Amino acid sequence: MHKWHISKDFEEASQSAAEFIVKKIQQSLQKNNICHIVLPGGKTPAKCLSLLAGEDLPWEKIHWYLGDERCYPLGHEERNDVMLEKNLWSHLAVANVHAIPAELGADVAATLYREDICAIDSFDIAFLGMGEDGHTASLFPGNKALSDSRSVVPVYDSPKEPAERVSLSIVTLRRAATKIVLACGESKAEMLVRIKQGESFPVNSIGDIDWFVDQLAVNVPAN
């Protein structure tokens, strides 16, 4: 079941998502004394992540994983881990980072990341984004990676650069206890209408989602 958290603008949606993630982290820590979180790439989550970094949490008990990574060299400005380091990890006293070694190529990196996450039955939180085509992580509509049932999958022929990527699979994302998608702006409005009408895309194939959106994304007029 989808839950819609509608905010007046991007800033408020980012704040609302950050507060929700903090609550879910605290619940996981109370239950298991550890929290495993999947993080998104792209530009949209940067504000939310910077707000999260300002929270007072036992960071040593939190482990961070990437939903996907782009096969660029280490330190490349378009890598997801570079964005995450800048906006989140570099601001924490302790950062337990599980990066995807995508610089080694999609197949090798996917194999190594499967080994890294093999002990995790299900992630506590999967914080994701959504593209205008309905993709999430690096799982694009019509791509062969969608039907790969392994926990981490190599992605080839991505419609967005770079063509080679590594992604957690649909199977892995479905198993996450909490799925969060932050999607804001007019560019996301058409896709959200189609999702609400029941069309199937990678992003809404992962199960129940807590959506954090602004009024522009859901065509709700401001008061």
Peptide bond into 202 cis (omega under 30): no
Q: What is the pTM of this model?
A: 0.96
The two three-digit tokens of residue 108, written as one number: 């090798």
Give the CA-trace dihedral at 127, 213, 28, 99, to 10 degrees. Answer: 20
Q: Where are the domains of the chain?
A: 3-120+138-177
| Residue-wise burial string across 131-165, b where 16 or more C-beta atoms lie within 10 A, e elsewhere | beebbbbbbbeebebbebeebbbbbeebeeebebb
Other CB atoms closer than 10 Å to residue 130's CB: what's the count? 28
Strand order in the sheet with 152-155: 68-70, 165-168, 152-155
The architecture (CATH level 2) of 3-120+138-177 comes to 3-Layer(aba) Sandwich (3.40)
pLDDT for position 179: 98
pLDDT tens-digit series, residues 136-192: 999 999 999 999 999 999 999 999 999 999 999 999 999 999 999 999 999 999 999
| Residue pair 127/45 in contact by the 8 Å Cβ criterion | yes
- The pairing of beta strand 152-155 with beta strand 3-7: unpaired
Q: What is the band of 220 on the pLDDT scale with cuts at 50, 70, 90?
A: low
